[in-house]
Amino acid sequence: MVVSMLDIVMELPEATSIKDKRRVVSSLKTRLRTKFRISCAEVGLLDSLAFAEIGAALVSNSKEFGEGVMHKALAVVEDELGVRIHDAQIHSEVY
């Protein structure tokens, strides 16, 4: 069993309130869940208005497949959403 993980720290330049931040983060999580069938959650920077940290995970039988899906998910975040990526890490663990 292989667990592939994605951790993204992003800046939300248009967020002027917590409501704006929640809307962007919720939309992002929904898009990742439906398009890539991965689990995701806001895992850090909860008190920050301008930044958000999203964690995502996928269980599969192949490191290459799992990391490939995570790279595609990261590309969607970078290309389709109005956020600035400050840090992104992808790694897998074999159990």
Q: What is the pLDDT of residue 13?
A: 82
Confidence of residue 82 (pLDDT cuts 50, 70, 90): low
Neighbours of 72 (CB within 10 A): 11
Strand extents, DSSP E, 1-95? 2-11, 39-44, 51-60, 84-94
Q: Which helix (H) or strand (E) holds 47?
A: none
Q: What is the pLDDT of residue 47?
A: 84
Question: What are the extents of the domains in the chain?
Answer: 2-94
Average pLDDT of the residues in 58-78? 92
Sign of CA dihedral 66, 67, 69, 70: positive
The model carries a pTM of: 0.84
Both tokens of residue 41?
């959650």
Superfamily designation of domain 2-94: TT1725-like (3.30.70.1120)
